[in-house]
Amino acid sequence: MWEPSESYPDPAITVLDPRFQDIRIGNAAVERLTTGIRYGEGPVWFGDARCLLWSDIPNNRIMRWDDETGAVSVYRKPSGYANGNTRDRQGRLISCEHGERRVVRTEYDGTLTVLADRFEGKRLNAPNDVIVRRDGSIWFSDPLFGILNNYEGYQAQPELPTNVYRLDPVSGRLQAVIRDIRNPNGLCFSPDESLLYVVDNGSAPNRILVYGVRDDGALVDGRVFVQAHGDSIPDGIRCDTAGNVWAGWGPGPALSGVMVYAPDGTAIGRIALPDRCANLCFGGPRRNRLFMVTGQCLFALYVNAQGAAHC
């Protein structure tokens, strides 16, 4: 059972390296904004609407939390068992759907446009996480998780390897930019978008990889950024403007929450939560509020850091 901190600084926030000392705000504590979801994922901030959207995958819906009132409502149901969400350069919602095995865009009038559902004539597996680069290209991971059972989608046999894809905004061409990861998961760019971070949940142990990104979108010089210990699982990831990587982590009481890594891969901070953090994002008017989605809850924490423009 989670209980809010009764003292400052919040003991749930641990400084592992002096670089995190100035990022932690001494009189800011972890807040639980809502509970009652079945398995949350894919938070995305809509500053123009002062709200946060996130997925409740098994309940086949996208939820909405209102910043002004704190009200929680259903944004869309059914959601196609949506998982990851982001916004494109025009502010439209981009979502990964397990159920329909596709990536879709929500237009301004609420209609859906299918952006990708097949590659080389075969159905995608279960698109998981999605990000958009400044050039408008859409990048998404396509692991197996959403077709392994009937809980987060529909059980099915895969037709494709588990790739990471780039969708060209001009030609509409879908390109597999990473083909050698079994079950890629979370994605994020560095602040200048010269680096792509990718969670690899198919290795033993799990790890976060990093690649150089050329102007044409080609990836180079892939390497291990962080290697997880034991059975721990990194999941959703985001960068702040200083290049630190914030990663949802779990499971287990000693691991569940958020790990923060400096650009050199050093663990500098930890935010303990009662359950595995599936995903996170920065939001609020100053992009200095970290929203964290766990299995059944939505949490938030003000930090002395700002999310990169695309986070």
Q: Cβ distance 79 to 60 under 8 Å?
A: yes
User: The pTM is what?
Assistant: 0.97
Q: Output the pLDDT for position 310.
A: 67
- Rounded mean pLDDT of 270-276? 95
pLDDT of 235 > 70? The answer is yes
Number of domains in the chain: 1
Alpha-carbon distance values, 277 to 155, 258, 295 (Å): 24, 7, 7
Evaluate whether residue 193 is within a structural domain: yes
Question: Is residue 65 pLDDT above 70, yes or no?
Answer: yes
Asked if the structure places residue 25 within a domain, the reply is: yes
Contact predicate 100/80, CB 8 Å: yes
Asked whether residue 4 is assigned to any structural domain, the reply reads: no
What are the tens digits of pLDDT across the range 110-151?
999 999 999 999 999 999 999 999 999 999 999 999 999 999
> 58 lies in a domain?
yes
Residue 99 belongs to a domain: yes
- In this prediction, residues 236-265 reach a mean pLDDT of 95
Q: Does residue 1 fall inside a structural domain?
A: no
The rounded distance, in Å, linking the Cα atoms of 58 and 73 is: 16
> What span, in angstroms and rounded, lies between the C-alpha atoms of 223 and 235?
18
Range of the domain at 284: 13-302
Query: Looking at the domain assignment, is residue 310 inside a domain?
Result: no
Predicted pLDDT at 13:
97
Q: Which CATH number characterizes residue 91's domain?
A: 2.120.10.30
311 in a structural domain: no
Supply the DSSP symbol for 240: B
